């Protein structure tokens, strides 16, 4: 991949941040409807980083995380990775399943399905926002879930990606209920040329 993703102007980052805002808002609304509780979201932080630095964002390569991975198909093919700390994953599962907080300490197949559905909702919300701004039709694959150390999850994904992308666009999202917050990190990893396609469609390609 070229260095195109490292050379974004403030205008381009602002455009991507706005897409992140809309996507996070859509996600919060969808999750609120599922758990029947109000969820607020913070304005996401947008950053660009080498894929090798991704584990540092979630606490280091040895941090235990839940990772949901999807491929994006369409005119701007990409990969999506949603990472959240293990405790946040358990917290979300308890909310979704209507359990007392702290009940979940490991995941059964139903819990895994619930987390993959959250990944689906988040990916759909961000892709809908991206499609709205760009008029590009972007479709997610079926999600895959792993619970492991951040470094191990990333290693598997890097093997799958091969040479397709070596930088990630990071959208940090924080969902907050009345009592607590869940922080997750949403990574969009564009294939070569895809970021240019997206920026051109937004109208901010330099």
81-98 confidence digits (pLDDT tens): 888 888 888 888 888 888
Look up the CATH architecture of domain 3-199. Answer: 3-Layer(aba) Sandwich (3.40)
Is residue 1 very low, low, confident or very high in pLDDT (cuts 50, 70, 90)?
very low
Domain boundaries, the chain: 3-199
Q: Give residue-wise pLDDT tens across range 95-121.
A: 888 888 889 888 899 999 988 888 888
User: Are the beta carbons of 164 and 1 closer than 8 angstroms?
Assistant: yes
Integer CA distances (angstroms), 97 to 102, 174, 193, in order: 12, 20, 41
Question: In DSSP terms, which residues pair with 84 in a beta bridge?
Answer: 66
DSSP state of 99: P
Higher pLDDT, 179 or 131: 131
Integer CA distances (angstroms), 114 to 46, 87, 106, in order: 27, 15, 13
Q: Give residue-wise pLDDT tens across range 33-68.
A: 877 777 777 766 777 777 778 778 778 889 999 999
């Amino acid at each position: 991949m070229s260095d195109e993703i490292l050379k974004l102007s403030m205008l381009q980052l602002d455009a991507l941040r706005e897409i992140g805002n809309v996507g996070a808002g859509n996600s919060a609304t969808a999750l609120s409807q599922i758990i029947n509780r109000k969820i607020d979201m913070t304005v996401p932080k947008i950053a660009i980083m080498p894929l090798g630095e991704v584990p540092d964002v979630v606490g280091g390569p040895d941090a235990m995380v839940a990772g949901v991975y999807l491929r994006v198909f369409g005119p701007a093919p990409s990969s999506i990775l949603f990472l959240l700390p293990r405790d946040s994953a358990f917290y979300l599962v308890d909310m979704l399943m209507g359990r007392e907080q702290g009940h979940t300490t490991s995941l059964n197949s139903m819990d895994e399905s619930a987390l993959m559905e959250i990944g689906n909702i988040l990916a759909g919300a961000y892709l809908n926002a991206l499609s709205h701004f760009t008029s590009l039709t972007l479709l997610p694959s079926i999600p895959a879930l792993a619970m492991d150390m951040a470094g191990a999850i990333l290693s598997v994904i890097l093997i799958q990606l091969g040479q397709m992308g070596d930088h990630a666009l990071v959208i940090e999202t924080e969902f907050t209920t009345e009592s607590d917050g869940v922080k997750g990190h949403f990574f969009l990893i564009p294939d070569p040329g895809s970021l240019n396609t997206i920026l051109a469609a937004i109208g901010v390609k330099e």
